[in-house]
Every structure is written in structure tokens, then in C-alpha cells.
Structure 1
């Protein structure tokens, strides 16, 4: 592995977080109440969730593990399925917790500070080092990739009601597409855009009948995670 290859997950995370931060940085309190692509969440709820994910990444990057790796950047997502009791509980927790920030500006600044810190930690980490998060062990490089993928998915969610907002980073979309292909076990139809694949792959949109026919038995695996 070259130095360039080793740095790639951290560079992907930097691009993903900087793209999302460019959206969040300009949001005011009124805009923070707009809906998102996540069921039941306003923008402020989703920003809180993304803040917690960046914080989790910071903790994980400083939590070395002595157990064998049991997940990689693709298999990590097999635990995350939509419409489970855990997903519903997470939605409620984020809504209640985000509501404690009476001034959205406080939440916005904490998000910006935490994502910036997570990027610095990612660049400082040895990508091959084993780290622990959510009951699993991954290499730091794979963990960093999962953070970039989540940030990219939620960037699309964040901008549902913000048509003029900038989109996700190309690096984040590439990592997301590779993750979905890994879960599917084969590349998606090449005519699918990255954003369309992201939405159907994570359950944000349903496959059309034509898409189901083209995918055959693989259609039953959708959504691939959510």
C-alpha cells in the first residue's frame, strides 16, 4: 500500500464532511425546522445525529482493539436495517436530544467543530490499526470510510428541502457506491446515478417495476442498508 492509498479514507472523509459542513454552516434557526429525507426528522434533528456520528468516530479512532477484525467498510452496514425497533428508538432519541438546543447556532457550531476534529484524527490515524465501535472491530481505515459513507447519505437527506444547497462530494459518492455494490454483490446498473443508487439502496426510494425486473432476484435484497 502506498502513502497515497493509506491516506485515501481520511481524504474521503475530509471531502464528505467539508461538503456537508458547507450546507450546515449557512443554516439559520428557521431553516433548521425544514424536513429532511429521514422519517420524522427536521434538519436540526439530522444535524444532531450527524454530530453524534462524528463524535463516535472520534472516540473509536482513540479506542484501540486487541480483538480480531470482524467487520470491514462493507459488512459493517449489515447490522443497519430500516424499520427496526432500534431505528425507531434512535429517531426518538435524536429528536428529544436535538430539542435541548434552544439556539440552533449552538448545535451548528458544535457540529462544525466536531467534524473538523474527526477529520484531523482520521488523518493522524494508522489506517491498519484495529479500533472498536458499536460492538465490532474494524481497521481505522474501514471505520473512516463508513463515516464518510454515512455523511454522504445524510448530506442527501439534509438537502431535500434545500434545492440550492451544494451536493455531496464526489469522493463520498464514490465510496457510497462502492459500499452499496459490495452489499449487493455486483455493480448496480451503470445508468443509475450515484444519488439514485443511494436513495434506492438505503430505502429512501422504492425500486420501479422495470428496475426490479432488470435486477432479478437481487431486487429482494433492497434496501441494502438504511
Structure 2
């Protein structure tokens, strides 16, 4: 991050908006500054709001977001012809089935994490976890490995594997104690924080694989709201940012869509994307 902002999660404060927040524009916080009404070559100056202060994710919020993200991803790919599953995505060089295989690997990692408790203190949370995955210059060895591995499966077989694995992750998460500390990616996370990272991953990648699927439904607002909370936490509480709808914030905050000149001016000094 540009500078070091405090992104520690304040425990014990639930964000009730996670379960009900619509996908429309984010309402301005009381007393929030707004951009001037002037225009430039990039169009009207966007409305500005402060990034929200991080609050802890509850077990119920994490479960709801994960179940919704996984369910919608499954619904998006289930029953599609192979030609649809070979369409391009926002991930350079990856087809729909390649993105699905990448998320399948994440589901398999989730099952391992849920079966790997740790007695130590959690060393990261659902926000700081993403500092290890900054936006990079482009695809690397993992991208190539995913393409090769995914090509070994019939697309419908991969859809079935995803369906079975994602359902197993949600069942296992529901039977895991709320105060569990679990190991993944060489980190220790609480159960709610782990579930939040999984939901964010699935929600963003669902946006990736629907770019050439015009009949796909709108993204579920529950996991998207968790993406917003994550991005705000990485940006830093109180830092001015454009008042994006959650979907647009997810795409721009993770480098899927470029910032306009007006947005760049608002975010002057803040590193974007916040994670890739």
C-alpha cells in the first residue's frame, strides 16, 4: 500500500448492511465530501465518499456471503454448452472453464483449511490477508498451470467437480465452530475471516467469467458487499474514494477496469488496484 494505513478490523461491530445492501450506488455517508460539479474530458466528476472503517465479519455474515457466492457461481455454469464454457473472461488467457478450475482449487484449499485447526493466534484477517496478493503486471506461472490442468477435463466434468466441492465447503463451514482458528496459505485466520476471503475470491471471479455471458444474472449483493468492505479496509478508513456501485468498485478495486482521470485525481496517492 502507498503509505501505511491502519486496516485492523474493529471487533464486535457487525455490518448489518452485508445481508441487505442493494447493488445500486453506495449512499453517501453523513457529512461526506462531494466532488465539485465541474466536468472534464472524462465526464462529470464522480461523487466522493469516505472509505468505511473496517468492522469484524461475523460467522453468520461469512457463511451467508460464501453460500451465496458459491451458489451463484454454480448456477452460472451449470447446464451450459461446452461452447459457453470456452468463452473468454476478464482473466488474460483464461476461458470460463479455466476460471472455474482456479476457483475449484480455492474450494479444495478451503476444505483443507477447515480440517486444519491451529491453537495459535490469528496473524491476519479478511482485509490484511489480501496484502499478499497485490495487482501484478500480468499472468504468470499459475495462469499457465491452470490452463494446462483445466484442459485435461471435459467442461461438464469440471462443472460437476465444482458443484460437489463448493457444496462440501459450505457444509463443512456450517459444522465448524465460530471461534476456530484455521491454517491456509501459511496464515492463521479465524473461521469468519477465512469464509470472507473465500466469498470475496468467488464473487470477483464470478464477475470475471460472466464478461462474455450476456444472459448471466446480476451479481449477488451479499458477497459483493463483502468485497466492498474488504476494498475499503485496504484503502484505509476515511480515505476519499468515488461513490461507486459495489460491482464497479469490485472491478476497479481489483484492476479489472481502469480508473478514469477524474477517479485517479480523487485517489491521488492511493495504490490501485488494491489487490489483483
TM-score, normalised to structure 2, is 0.76
2:258 to 202, 206, 213: 206
Q: Which of the pair has more CA radius of gyration?
A: 2
Match of 1:224 in 2: 274
Match of 1:33 in 2: 86
Counterpart-to-counterpart distance in 1, 2:217 and 2:112: 29
Match of 1:132 in 2: 183
Counterpart-to-counterpart distance in 1, 2:68 and 2:247: 17
Flag the structure with higher helix content.
Answer: 1
2:113 maps to 1:88 = no
Structure 1: where are the runs of 5+ without partners? none
Number of positions where the alignment pairs a residue of Structure 1 with one of Structure 2: 221
Match of 2:152 in 1: 100
2:168 maps to 1:117 = yes
- Check conservation: 1:128, 1:140, Cα contact below 8 A: yes
Q: How far off is 1:190 after superposition? A: 5.7
Structure 2: where are the runs of 5+ without partners? 1-11, 17-57
Q: Deviations over 1:177-197 (max 9, x none)?
A: 000000000366463111111
5 Å-filtered alignment, 1:145-164, equals 145-164=196-215
Query: What's the secondary structure of 2:131's corresponding residue?
Result: helix
Counterpart-to-counterpart distance in 2, 1:114 and 1:79: 25
TM-score, normalised to structure 1, is 0.92
Q: Deviations over 1:24-50 (max 9, x none)?
A: 113221111100011110011011001
